[in-house]
Amino acid sequence: MIKIIDYGLGNIQAFTNMYKRLGFDVCRATSAFELEGATKLILPGVGAFDHAMELLDASGMRPVLDDLVLKHQVPVLGICVGMQILADGSDEGRLPGLGWVPGKVKAFKTDKRSANLPLPHMGWNDVQPRAGAKLFAGLENDARFYFLHSFFFECAEPQFAAASTGYGLEFSCAVSSGNVYGVQFHPEKSHHYGAQLLKNFAEM
């Protein structure tokens, strides 16, 4: 059962609808108890890094998520701010992140290559998957997704980058470390490209 983590951020219904159209069993989880039985986890998010971490901690689901992801190796897909909080921390806030993927979230405005570009980075952009990235099966030569963000994930090591895109600088728009995956873009707003990616994750 795919469980979508509902801690107060993200368009839960959009993911639910898309997975149901794809023919997968899916439901939302709003408590630690409702996470029971999860075989896959979706961690959405919009807004600010610290606010997301505060809401996730307040939900009471954090210890169970750590247990599911780190001990039991349940695959998890973080989306937008849900990807950013996979990191160790962020320029946007002071709180530590989940630390599931080594790296730091950086602001576009702090890099001279992107400092003068309009923010947020908004709209469709081409994505270049890393060779063999399972999340992008069938999208190796045709990947285009919808973005809306002002911060990007800087991986601690190159092997954690699953895909990249360009906005002044080239940055990691998808990350992976073991059973942990994350995408900066919005697959639920990315038509058949997003549907393929979410299908790939469900079938891993």
Give the residue numbers annotated as catalytic, written as ranges: 80, 186, 188
Strands (E), 138-191: 144-149, 151-155, 161-167, 169-177, 180-183
Measured over all CA atoms, what is the biggest interatomic distance in the chain, rounded to whole angstroms? 47
| Identity of the residue numbered 68 | L
| Distance of alpha carbon 41 from alpha carbon 168, whole angstroms | 32
Cα atoms found within 13 Å of the Cα of residue 12, Cβ hemisphere only: 14
91: which residues sit within 8 A by CB, 6+ positions away? 104, 105, 106, 107, 110, 151
200: which residues sit within 8 A by CB, 6+ positions away? 134, 135, 136, 137, 138
DSSP H or E run through 129: strand 128-129
